[in-house]
Amino acid sequence: MKTIAQIAAELHGYDPQALPASAVLDFLQQLVAPVTESNHQPLFEALGKVLSEDVISPMDVPPHDNSAMDGYAFDGSQLQTHVPLKLKVVGTAMAGKAWAGTAGLGDCVKIMTGAIMPAGFDTVVPQEIVTPMNGDAAFIIIPAGLLKPGDNRRLRGEDLAQGRPALLKGQVVTPARLGLAASLGLPSLPCWRPLRVAYFSTGDEILTLGEPPREGAVYDSNRYTTFGLLKRLGCEVIDMGVIKDDPALLEAAFRSAAAQADAIITSGGVSVGEADYTKAMMKKLGDVAFWRIAMRPGRPMAVGRIAMQESEKSGAVLFGLPGNPVAVMVTFLAFVRPALLQMMGCTDSAPPLLKAHSQETIRKKAGRTEYQRGWVSSATDGSLQVRTTGNQGSGVLSSMAEANGLIVLHHEQGNVAAGDLLDVLMFDGAI
């Protein structure tokens, strides 16, 4: 396991007082490690968890050649380019069982969607394009030039072949993957255990809900946004409340959190000029780096590991976030969420970015990454467009609540003109 100093030494241009956002992600990739415990989860409990091994298909899907639609099955070798095909209807194949009759050239079988293809037949004509011959439903006519052999037939194993991977290690179990597992008859899936994350807010000025207001104090919103972000991620959350600026209380909180959790998230107490109890306690109990990130909002952040004394547990990864509410959410989405996904064993932890055209001019200084709250919508031509959502101050939660994504203005990027194409980190699935 590398120390903070060893990781820093391997990063080109590492400067803890002016760290680019890209360097933060590179650093965290080396700091964190995936959990190693896994078990089989019943399907209803597996949603949102991460697969700990490949899932091999125990069968072909579909298990038989079958019809992709309601229509008539027949031997497609009889089709001719310019001559309609006349066929005799010799039976009906229903879904759920094989048709028991026999048929050959000149014959067809009325067939339902999903029904097994009769032996010797490889093509299905949709029922809406055939006509009965002389009004007799026992014979049909297929117009020329509309079909080719093999049309509207689903082949055995074309979705999944027996013995091949159906789901891959490191994938998050989504509703579609849950349904796929069920279609294979699998009652459970192998998953890494959920990540345990402890979090608390720090500061004498922070009020817990239910406390009466007092001058100079604010109600704690960070615990609730952090709780929501962690729950959406599928973590097992440990809420430790608000910890006052008291060295004994802070030490007890950090030790308790490290004993229970894989990761610890705090908000407040890492900025220059703040009371240094939190920073001092982080240094005392672990291997921690304090950064000023070249970003807005956010800037101050602490990362490292909180050690455990007289314990078999190696400790917990620490993410010390700023105190301002929007800065907490932005640093979580930009840095902490990808790191936690990596710890969960997820192979695709990088946040996806969409492209959208700016609806306005945006002032931006090169040399830092900015995350502006934005609203993405569809323009009249169908392209995506984005606008900012009002006051972008780091303590203004209302503009975050009105946004559906973060406009990502990259480190070297300058001012934005209306119509420029921008990257957007969408909230859907994250918050």
* Residues of the chain above pLDDT 70, percent: 97
Distance between CA atoms of 188 and 178, rounded to whole angstroms? Answer: 10
pLDDT of residue 26: 94
Residue 99: CB atoms within 10 Å = 21
State the pTM of this model. 0.87
pLDDT of residue 207: 85
Kindly give the residue spans of alpha helices, DSSP state H, lying in 127-221: 175-183
- Work out the average pLDDT over 38-60: 96
The pLDDT of residue 143 is above 70: yes
Report the SS3 class of residue 226.
helix
pLDDT per residue over 363-383, tens digit each? 999 999 999 999 999 999 999
**Which is it for the CA torsion 81, 86, 90, 93, positive or negative?**
positive
Tokens of 377: 């919508």
**Cβ distance 108 to 73 under 8 Å?**
yes
The pLDDT of residue 216 is above 90: no
Distance between CA atoms of 229 and 175, rounded to whole angstroms? Answer: 19
pLDDT per residue over 398-427, tens digit each? 999 999 999 999 999 999 999 999 999 999
pLDDT of residue 134: 83
pLDDT of residue 351: 78
Tokens of 147: 């079909």
Amino acid at 166: A
pLDDT of residue 310: 55
Residue 265: CB atoms within 10 Å = 29
Tell me how long the chain is.
431
**Which is it for the CA torsion 228, 230, 235, 236, positive or negative?**
negative
- Work out the average pLDDT over 257-283: 83
pLDDT of residue 314: 65
The pLDDT of residue 62 is above 90: yes
**Cβ distance 227 to 187 under 8 Å?**
no
pLDDT of residue 276: 64
Distance between CA atoms of 186 and 305, rounded to whole angstroms? Answer: 39
Distance between CA atoms of 428 and 413, rounded to whole angstroms? Answer: 25
Q: Which domains are delineated in the chain?
A: 4-37+194-343 (3.40.980.10), 49-60+160-192 (3.90.105.10), 66-154 (2.170.190.11), 353-426 (2.40.340.10)
At a CB cut-off of 8 Å and minimum separation 6, what does 74 contact? 85, 87, 107, 108, 109, 121, 123, 124, 125
Amino acid at 119: A
113 vs 247: which has the higher pLDDT: 113
At residue 428 the predicted structure's pLDDT band, cuts being 50, 70 and 90, is confident
